Structure 1
């Protein structure tokens, strides 16, 4: 991975016309628990500060357009970012058009970036365990209608920090026995590997060019926001577009 200008740049073999990054929590104007590059308007931060932060990333990263923001609700809905005119309730967006900035926000949930090997199609996915269970990855990949996909797994909660109840594990294993290896016992609960859950789904779809997946938003507190760690906190953005 490469870190510069307060962003994390994926280390993957994407085509040269694919541009992708995750913002870190540094480099903005928000204060207190939102310090400093919070990009979310729904977490209680001063909206003027969020607007300034969004202007900062648009200008310093030379984005070709305003990011296509989503109202994320842990759904399995993916939208065509080129057709978005408001703030849709969705947890993924994709685009075949150039200079459309597909964007998701996270602070422990898993952001996935997807592109086709020919550089013609991109997608950004927000995947908490509910979205993973309900098929947000599969629905997005299906909607893209593209072959030979590459996927980057961005910063999310690490294995040692993601404790879930037995009912969560049982729901995944009922869906597919392949998910069982993504859980380790922790007393009467389980530690879930959100990266492995995503890999299982992607492998089922025939995708094996998978990169990233070695971060922990909870323990890397200087780089990342974490809802599980701090409760009241900001959000990073993970963006992808093609030129």
Structure 2
């Protein structure tokens, strides 16, 4: 397996975290590794062979303390407590305070965000597509972590569609601006939000959106200033699965737990 370990600072040693790529599994095309080999597709809902997904999850399990709490992600903003959540629960984020419980989100262009409390008491993971960002999934995750005892929180932005690839319509820009206004955001936040959308000259009404910066804005609004990652594009780099690029494709996972 080819894994990514978050490059964040000061996170306690009792926090384990990683993000997968498409490399090093058993799935065959179109869920392969992009180079003719087996792919590490972890999504059971994308029409890959069930035995391949099970084999890939077994490979991943070797480096985890327990089976992840896999959620049914719905592009919403609901956060669950992974300590008590059932496998398959409808949610887009999870937190835990219990050692050995693995929070996990699956992505293939949407943004995975991992969270850690610098005291090593609470961790969390969120699936943040643009709808989840507009709905406040990151702010909700931070709030739930603080309710569980987290103080200083750091975040890591995993592989997602990059700002040179994420073409959206005016409706997405309007949704973000409206959300900021509804939260009575400061004027500079509205300016920063609009600046995340670069008009495409040859395609009137279309923009290139920076999902990483939109996430950073949301995190700052939630009081999280220490944010790492955010430099890996799933569309441009074929090490990753990308729904925008390939349509029929697998899913990576970003996972975090307390040791």
Give the structure-1-normalised TM-score.
Answer: 0.95
**Are 1:172 and 2:176 counterparts?**
yes
Where 1:83 maps in the other structure, the secondary structure is coil
Where does structure 1 differ by over 2 angstroms across 4 or more consecutive aligned residues?
none
- Residue 20 of structure 2 is aligned to residue 23 of structure 1: yes
Which residue matches 2:257?
A: 241
SS of the aligned residue for 2:23 comes to: coil
Asked whether the 8 Å contact 2:103–2:257 carries over to 1, the reply is yes
Residue of structure 2 equivalent to 1:84: 85
Distance apart, 1:175 and its partner CA:
2.2
- In structure 2, the partner of 1:195 is 212
In structure 2, what is the Cα distance between the partners aligned to 1:137 and 1:69?
18
1:131 match: 132
Measure the CA separation in 1 of the matches of 2:136 and 2:84: 22
Shift of 1:144: 1.1
Unpaired segments ≥5 residues, structure 1 = none
CA distance in 2, matches of 1:116, 1:143: 12
**What TM-score does the superposition give when structure 2 sets the normalisation length?**
0.90
Question: Residue by residue, what CA displacement relative to the aligned partner does 1:147-189 show, whole Å, maximum 9, x if unpaired?
Answer: 1000000000000100000011011112221311211111321
1:156 alignment partner in structure 2: 160
SS in 2 for 1:175: helix
Is 1:224 the equivalent of 2:240?
yes
Q: What is the alpha-carbon distance in structure 2 between the residues aligned to residue 200 and residue 232 of structure 1?
A: 31
Deviation at 1:192, TM superposition (A): 0.4
Q: How many residues align?
A: 236
Alpha-carbon separation, structure 2, partners of 1:175 and 1:56: 41
The CA deviation at 1:87 is 1.1
Match of 1:44 among 41, 47, 59: 47
Unaligned stretches of 5+ residues in structure 2: 33-38, 181-189
